[in-house]
Amino acid sequence: MSAVVLDGKQMSASLRAEIAGRVQSLKEKGVTPGLAVILVGNDPASEIYVRNKGNGCREVGMYSETVALPGDTDQAVLEGEIDRLNRDPRIHGILVQLPLPAHLDEAAALARILPEKDVDGFHLLNAGRLMTGEAGVIPCTPRGALHMIRQTGLNLSGLEAVIVGRSNIVGKPMAALLLRENCTVTVCHSRTANLAEHTRRADILVAAVGKAGLITGDMVKPGAVVIDVGINRVDGKVRGDVDFDSVSAVAGWITPVPGGVGKMTITMLLQNTLEAAERMV
Ligand code: NAD
């Protein structure tokens, strides 16, 4: 078997065209959706992500603002910037680029963002809404991954979903989303005994670990949907958590890295910002 490749670039392009149309409609009502990204310090990977977010905004006609703060910024200054953006009517979405330098309190910074402007979906209120099934902002990466899973056309209800990784930004919200789709969800992590025994049961397998090539073909059920969230730099190349060659020979569907979930994450950020602006009109 050779898996169907779920193409994040193609899916993003059609979603972005739809987003651009809705941005245009809002502009005709006098509102331009706006995203502000706060970047503290000069981590090169974060700088690239922030630049890509700004480019994404321009592509769909949104306003974007980057607040670049020095690496020694203190908590009060950071929170002062968040307060200013909370009050700014041009800004509908605020994102604090993570990770923050170690001396800053990440949880306190995220809690400071108005929940309705929290387009990353990391505020405790939005995390709680996702867990309890109420409408709220869904974190971008799991939202993008779910969109890709839906493109298979499978009826997700009753399927076995196994998520490898339990972070607050990917693994846990992914589990909540798939539970909402009526999947039977297993979450694996660094202390899981016999990882392969779990992954081999998965009709839907999501890898969000940060270990290049961790998931190999012998760990995958034939015909499964395999979603690779991992972004790992190996010898100057970007690789996922999934060993593409051996897994694509077994799986039914697979996402590539690059060109898979990563591309969808920024598209979902644009979607969350658009929806935040639509709710505020
Ligand atoms: P994290 O470091 O917060 O969490 C990693 C998780 O993997 C932990 O829950 C840990 O328990 C688990 N884990 C570690 N080793 C394991 C092992 N051997 N077996 C099973 N589980 C193991 O990472 P994160 O922020 O969730 O990110 C995970 C990966 O996804 C990283 O490569 C990151 O760069 C990538 N990422 C990609 C996007 C995207 O847009 N594509 C977005 C966010 C994160």
Residues with CB under 6 A from ligand 1: 141, 164-167, 169-171, 188-190, 192, 195, 208-211, 229-232, 261-262, 265
Q: Domains of the chain (ranges plus CATH)?
A: 31-115 (3.40.50.10860), 139-263 (3.40.50.720)
3-state helix, strand, coil in the chain (%, to 5): 45, 15, 40
Contacts of 88 (CB under 8 A, 6+ apart): 34, 36
Q: Can you give the pTM of this predicted structure?
A: 0.97
Query: Which is the catalytic residue, given 24, 29, 43, 120?
Result: 120
Query: How far does residue 175's CA lie from ligand 1's centre (Å)?
Result: 14
97 catalytic per annotation: yes
Question: Which letter does DSSP use for residue 117 in this model?
Answer: G
**Known catalytic residue at 120:** yes
Q: Ligand 1 centre and the CA of 192: distance in Å?
A: 14
pLDDT tens string for the chain (281 positions)? 699 999 999 999 999 999 999 999 999 999 999 999 999 999 998 999 999 999 999 999 999 999 999 999 999 999 999 999 999 999 999 999 999 999 999 999 999 999 999 999 999 999 999 999 999 999 999 999 999 999 999 999 999 999 999 999 999 999 999 999 999 999 999 999 999 999 999 999 999 999 999 999 999 999 999 999 999 999 999 999 999 999 999 999 999 999 999 999 999 999 999 999 999 98
